[in-house]
Copies of this chain bind each other. A is one copy, B any other.
Amino acid sequence: MRQPTLEEVAARAGVSKMTASRALRGARDVSAASIEKVKVAAEQLGYVGNQLALSLSSRRTNLIGVVIPSMSNIVFPEVLGGIIGGLEGSGLQPVFGVSDYDLDKERDIIRNMLSWQPAALIITGLDQPEETRKLLRQSDIPVIQIMDLDGEPIDFVVGLSHTQAGREMAEAILASGRKRIGYIGSAVDRDKRAIKRRAGFEAVLQDNGRYFVSVETSLEASSSRLGRDLTGRLLARHPDLDCIYCSNDDMAAGSLFACMKLGRAVPDDILIAGFNGLEITSALPVRIATSTSPRRAIGEQAAQLALAAMNGNGRDLARRIELRAEITLGDAER
């Protein structure tokens, strides 16, 4: 009554285990007649196969480990969608883990994944501590770090420079004539990439003899609610701001809603800028500025890179793929 094994399928088909194995895998050295018999037997028994045995025996798995920091920020599920898409038809199975932006947790997840002997690993960010990096180097499989470019890659990296994204947004905003700029930030202790964007933004401000007029941050994860609340506080203290740079689009949406509630005209009176280019920004009644991160493309490219690296052409592969975030300022009427 258990799941039937290959042995049983073979017995029923009147051939050896080995022949049955070959028949089901479509390998050579089997007669058409045998293939037919085995397929019929497998069908009748509802044979499913055992990947554990397969992988152990053949010493390769079809697993790709993927570690992301969060599930509640839609950006990462979108990256996963890209990875799944990029793996489509390759026969590879992604396995996910969520680190909650916790580097210790990330290490544990990676260790756990390695014990499944994955064919490759895709992890988020470049900020892994030495212990994790050692684990990854020892494992001797392709490691692809995604999302970020600012840092020292282990192996392959696909992403964008967040410092640069912050810098470009600052330049665009300054060019548009905004002068009194505030900042609201979420998860300021954990979200390394938001920190880099802010740093890039502030660097440009400084180069132009400016600085953030006011800053409101929180340890909480980003959300539109948090964006709304921090904006409320920011504007209570500094009603004269003409721009608010937000750690991401969730925050920016909330910031916009706070402005609407206060009767502030966006973007004429005050410009709201975020990051990611979430779908919702294209439906809002007024435009906010954002840089559209190529998150789906990052997933796809990472998946394809993983495939290529597994197939041995590791030598002549680009070890660094830079994708760019595209800025929309939203000053213009659509």
Measuring CB to CB, which residues of chain A are less than 8 angstroms from any residue of chain B? 1-3, 46, 48-56, 61, 71-72, 74, 76-78, 80-81, 84, 93-96, 98, 111-112, 114-117, 134-135, 138-140, 223-225, 227-228, 253-254, 257-258, 260-261, 279-280, 282-285
User: Given A50-B115, A93-B112, A257-B285, is A71 in contact with B61 using a C-beta cutoff of 8 Å?
Assistant: no
Which residues of chain B are within 8 angstroms of A254 by Cβ–Cβ distance?
A: 283
Asked if A48 contacts B260 (CB within 8 A), the reply is no
The residue in chain B whose Cβ has the minimal distance to the Cβ of A82 is B71
Q: Is the CB of B224 within 8 A of A283?
A: yes
Q: Which of B55, B77, B93, B282 contacts A71 (CB 8 A)?
A: B77
A261 to B260, CA, bound (A): 12
Copies of this protein, total? 2
Known contacts: A48-B115, A260-B285. The answer to whether A80 contacts B84 by CB under 8 A is no
Q: Are B50 and A117 in contact (CB under 8 A)?
A: yes
Inter-chain CA distance A53–B3, complex, in Å, is 19
Residue of B nearest to A299 (CB): B71
Q: Do residues A261 and B285 form an inter-chain contact, with CB atoms below 8 A? A: yes
Chain B residue numbers with a CB within 8 Å of A139 are 3, 48
Distance between Cα atoms of A76 and B96 in the complex (Å): 14
CB-CB under 8 A for A78 and B84, given A48-B115, A117-B52, A283-B254 = no
* Among A49, A71, A134, A279, residue most surrounded by chain B Cβ atoms (within 10 Å): A71
Complex contact B225–A282 (CB within 8 A): yes
